[in-house]
Amino acid sequence: MTEPCPSCGLLDRVQHVPAAYHGGHSYYRGRGPAVAVPAGDGVVVTNSQVSGVTVTAVARALDPFPPPRRGGGLLAAAIALALAGSCCLLLPLSAADDPPPGGAAAKALGFTVLSLPAFAVYVAVGVLVWLSVRRVRAHRRQRRGVPAARQVWEQGWFCHRCGGVYFADAGRLLTPAHFRHLVARAGGYDR
């Protein structure tokens, strides 16, 4: 058993933080509204399946994990840009088949000017790939910090009466946000 809540001095509504966190998740599965599906000449009326999870505000406030990584939007943008850059590359290549009038210097200048869009696009692709790699690395570092963060998280006690968290050895009630910050700092993902 732990120390009583430092704010109200009682124990009856105190719960271990992991228990409060997991208790705030409910999973549901059921039948949704009826939908008509065309089948041959007629329609078949069937019920759609629905399932999901509801999370209470308390559970969300006690979540010890780093924010999930967003999808590979950056990488998709880089690929799209690379394709666009390949189209830009056609400009100088087509000019090589049909050289503009003028000397060798004018030809070189024209070729350089036509190559600029492709060059700029490829620089942008490089920057996007670099940002994407950086994000993946940051996410890996966060995942590595989770066990250390969990150790701190598992020492917390949540008082449902006061809505705060405390550690058994420190006599001060913390807000859930402050507690989460301490947990994230232990995991090295407080930025």
Residues that bind Zn ion (CB under 5 A): 5, 7-8, 159, 161-162
CA distance 127 to 82: 12
Helices 104-153 and 176-187: crossing angle in degrees, nearest 10, is 120
**CB 6 to Zn ion: min, Å:** 8
Q: What is the CA radius of gyration of the chain?
A: 29
Amino acid present at 185: R
**CB 58 to Zn ion: min, Å:** 13
Among residues 8 and 59, whose Cβ is nearest to Zn ion? 8
What sign has the CA pseudo-torsion 129, 132, 138, 140?
negative
**CB 175 to Zn ion: min, Å:** 13
Q: Cβ(90)–Cβ(121) under 8 Å?
A: no
Among residues 162 and 174, whose Cβ is nearest to Zn ion? 162
Among residues 21 and 158, whose Cβ is nearest to Zn ion? 158
Among residues 136 and 162, whose Cβ is nearest to Zn ion? 162
CA distance 83 to 111: 20
**CB 171 to Zn ion: min, Å:** 12
